[in-house]
Homo-oligomer: A and B are copies of this chain.
């Protein structure tokens, strides 16, 4: 029984939600009953065990991952289904209106505009944060910044329905990036749901890990590419990746991809599970070595194209966003109704035809186009296939860049992928026209396969736009063929090199446009960054409060500075950093000191004292004064009762990070104390106070009370701060002044910091926030004296630190240490003598 009791107790100590707790409490009570009656206890114990088992099961990661994977695959399939219906109904309308050409044309043009407008309106009304790709937001969240409103159920609904109708209009928009957002939303909601069963889902760092898994699921359920999905989500989303989290990503992505493809089999679309776009390239001789320069050129050109795409997005378009919306919609519909038929193919259809392993351009053999209806789309009686492809690339390029700016849930990955494939096909067809018998000099003829070039181009361009290398893997999984791995890798790497040296990635550029909290990457081999130290970029003028400061100091500190937290020092002489306090906490302290309850208490006390005084000085006017005082008493008590429903400021929960409670935001909640230096402000507060105190006091004593209140406030402000109700972070992250920028970047991005204090042997000497770091990385800070400093000591194995710490640092540190010792020595000796005296 002892064992059972222990199990039960440990079960009860599990963080379960109230209703489960209740069940267990019942069980616990029944255990106590056991001591009296043994026979009846077996059933509740079994129940508790079952419950415990179920809870522990639900707490397991794999249950969560399977649920998430199945759910997202189903959703992806449903969205595909919805898009299909939308597209079919347009065609159906077109066919049924054949009698009236004008009506037919009007319907053809109006339909997409209606869908896009619905999507934009619906999203805007329900959840404006569902607009756009969503990857920038998720990237910011994974960076450690809480964007609560991005992960709500409303956003989920808006995103799913908005995406379906936007893609149903046939615009060149992508499903992939929104699905990353949708999967993250799904994971967040599932976490919330699962937390009903076990407290483990309330752990925030765990939920962020699950969120990064969700990104892999999002990519995976669009391309049915588990490995590529995981890798892409790592590259596009994270700065650091936990290998511990790896299997989760693989597992969830595999479940998703499997489910997504099985749905197709069950729906009789496929006989068995294959790749999404299976190709049929030659395997025994995938490519010739002499074709590699062509692949390299394709990669470099894709890199340039990717940079152009991002820069177009970045500079030109976003400024005229809302103006050109409707014109754009009409324009796009116009474009789509042009008789250039490949424009009317869906993205998947165009990809399918572009990855075809036929050669379209074989002059004189136009009959080679097979009976596949989609491939026929590229055939045009007047113009040859090169013109068609060039037109397609150019039109799609600017249309996608424009379509990206529409306020609907949309992504750019798929359109870019299709453009890349078309461009690759163009290069491939050119190569095939140039070398009709292949480039191989030996006897055997291996003709060039333009489809391979299409695959390479797709991977290269999408890699260049998103600054990822794993688009290569996505291509392999999408096509089901990996034999042409080297050309793809070479092109993708070259495209990345070119694009990364010219522009930030699409997602980073969106982050910058949306002004999300952002820490730029250290780019390709910018090794001068290794030579900048924290002391070159830190702010030396730190706002701080000391342990023995008075409330006036708190007040002064609140009026200046912008950081979310303030440093708490031992004293301004020693400058020893003890911890950091949030701004909101200090506001709470101040409002506790100067707030309504204490003020009223003071007034009450004063009134009592006055009453006594008045009794003594004017015994004749006894009736009137008591009446006034009684009224005051009465008013105070009603005031208190009527305001008791609103929590006092010191008790209110802290707000989420991004809401940034500041002095300006909530002047009514937290009464600002008066300050001698700000006369106008004083006036404002006096008026405010007079209004709030008006009902409780009779008119004749207001002016007196004002005078005494000023005095009281001044007295209150001069009191020493009582940090009793204050939450202090006792170990804020500290850097030393010689920590390199490189290491600082690492620490900031690893731990998701907003700022870090710079200390020297316990003394605060500066602060570095995300802003300074950002500036330093973007190079807008003029660094004084770039000389090589070793990466510091404190964040490395300390065994090696001594060898690399140079003499300059050593001298500096010691100098500071000795300065400090000098400061400390005086009181210390006194203390010693003091204790000596005591002992005597």
Contacts and interface: CB of A to CB of B under 8 A. Distances in A.
A478 to B, nearest CB: 10
Interface in A277-335: 278, 280, 283-289
A242 interface: yes
12 contacts: A206-B530, A226-B489, A234-B246, A235-B246, A254-B493, A258-B490, A271-B285, A274-B285, A481-B482, A727-B801, A729-B793, A753-B797
Interface string A521-543: 11011010010000000000000
Contact of A797 (B146, B275, B788): B146
A602 interface: no
A786 interface: yes
B577 A762 contact: yes
A796 B752 contact: yes
Interface string A194-215: 0000011001111000000000
Interface in A774-808: 785-788, 791, 793-805
Contacts of A158: none
Contacts of A752: 796-797
B525 A61 contact: yes
Given A729-B801, A754-B798, A762-B762, A831 B827 contact: yes
Given A483-B278, A493-B251, A802-B654, A762 B579 contact: yes
A336 interface: no
A68 interface: no
Given A247-B496, A272-B285, A493-B251, A726 B578 contact: no
A144 interface: yes
Nearest to A811: B724
B724 A814 contact: yes
A385 interface: no
Nearest to A569: B762
Nearest to A241: B241
Given A726-B814, A730-B794, A762 B800 contact: no
A828 interface: yes
A735 B727 contact: no
Residue among A472, A548, A654 with max Cβ neighbours from chain B (10 Å): A654
Given A204-B804, A244-B239, A761 B798 contact: no
Nearest to A659: B799
A265 interface: yes
Contacts of A571: 828
A486 B799 contact: no
Instruction: Give the size category of A's interface with B.
Output: 35 or more
A254 B564 contact: no
B204 A796 contact: yes
Given A13-B786, A788-B15, A834-B830, A733 B795 contact: yes
Interface stretch (A454-462, A580-588, A635-643, A709-717): A580-588
B657 A797 contact: yes
Given A240-B240, A731-B734, A747-B751, 12 more contacts: A206-B527, A227-B485, A251-B493, A258-B490, A275-B485, A477-B482, A480-B483, A654-B800, A658-B799, A729-B798, A730-B813, A753-B797
Given A204-B800, A576-B762, A761-B728, A824 B275 contact: no
A527 B796 contact: no
Contacts of A240: 240-243, 750
Given A580-B798, A752-B797, A800-B656, A830 B828 contact: no
A239 B288 CA distance: 39
Given A206-B530, A731-B735, A146 B726 contact: no
A798 B409 CA distance: 32
Interface in A811-837: 813-814, 817-818, 821, 824, 826-828, 830-831, 834
A727 to B, nearest CB: 5
Nearest to A253: B489
A760 interface: yes
Interface in A399-455: 442
A145 interface: yes
Contacts of A730: 736, 759-762, 794, 813
Interface string A238-276: 111111101100110010011001100100000111110
Contacts of A794: 729-733
A243 B238 contact: yes
Residue among A199, A289, A729 with max Cβ neighbours from chain B (10 Å): A729
Contacts of A728: 761, 813-814, 817
Contacts of A729: 793-794, 798, 801
A473 interface: yes
Contact of A254 (B61, B226, B274, B486): B486
A181 interface: no
Interface string A467-504: 00100110011001111011001100100110000000
B485 A226 contact: yes
A289 B272 contact: yes
A282 to B, nearest CB: 10
B493 A247 contact: yes
A28 interface: no
Nearest 8 pairs of A and B residues by beta carbon: A657-B799, A654-B802, A61-B525, A730-B761, A15-B788, A482-B482, A731-B794, A480-B483
B585 A802 contact: yes
A723 interface: yes
B205 A742 contact: yes
A60 B274 contact: no
A598 interface: no
A85 interface: no
A62 interface: yes
Contacts of A203: 527, 530, 791
A570 interface: yes
A802 B289 contact: no
A10 interface: yes
A15 B788 CA distance: 7
Contacts of A736: 730-731
Contacts of A724: 814, 818
B754 A797 contact: yes
A497 B280 CA distance: 35
A59 interface: yes
B830 A564 contact: no
A58 to B, nearest CB: 11
Contact of A582 (B145, B733, B798): B798
